[in-house]
Amino acid sequence: MNETIHSILEAEEKAERIINDASEKGKAVMLRGEEDAERLKEQAVGEFNAERKEAIAAAEKKAERIYAELLAEGESEARALIDSCRDKTEKTADDIVGRIFGK
């Protein structure tokens, strides 16, 4: 009977060691999972920030291109207006001089 009791006690100790080992392994797996999740989160945030910076840079480049195009168009229209007025200004000045001096 002592042998049976001893056998039962050994089995209980072994079961307790197995449970403790499993608990420790479970904690380690959970900790690794949390660390992996945090690392993935940081990686995703980093990738998002990089993509955001790229999108902002592309938008700024596009805005600068459009601004340059509009500026060039405005300058061209201004030159055309100046040129068209130049001919009219000279003719008007000649008309005024003619009226004043009777030519």
Q: For the segment 33-56, what is each residue's pLDDT rounded down to a tens digit?
A: 999 999 999 999 999 999 999 999
CA distance 76 to 85: 14
Question: What does the pLDDT average to over 58-62?
Answer: 97
- DSSP label at residue 102: T
Q: What residues contact 94, with CB distance under 8 A and at least 6 apart?
A: none
Global pTM value: 0.54
Q: Give the distance from CA 76 to its chain's centroid.
A: 36
Query: In angstroms, what CA-CA distances link 70 with 61, 76, 83?
Result: 14, 10, 20
CA distance 95 to 103: 9
- pLDDT attached to residue 52: 97
| Contact (Cβ atoms closer than 8 angstroms) between residue 97 and residue 103 | yes
Q: Which two tokens stand for residue 50?
A: 């990089």
**Is residue 98 predicted with pLDDT exceeding 90?**
no
**Is residue 103 predicted with pLDDT exceeding 70?**
no
- pLDDT attached to residue 96: 82
- pLDDT attached to residue 43: 97
CA distance 13 to 10: 5
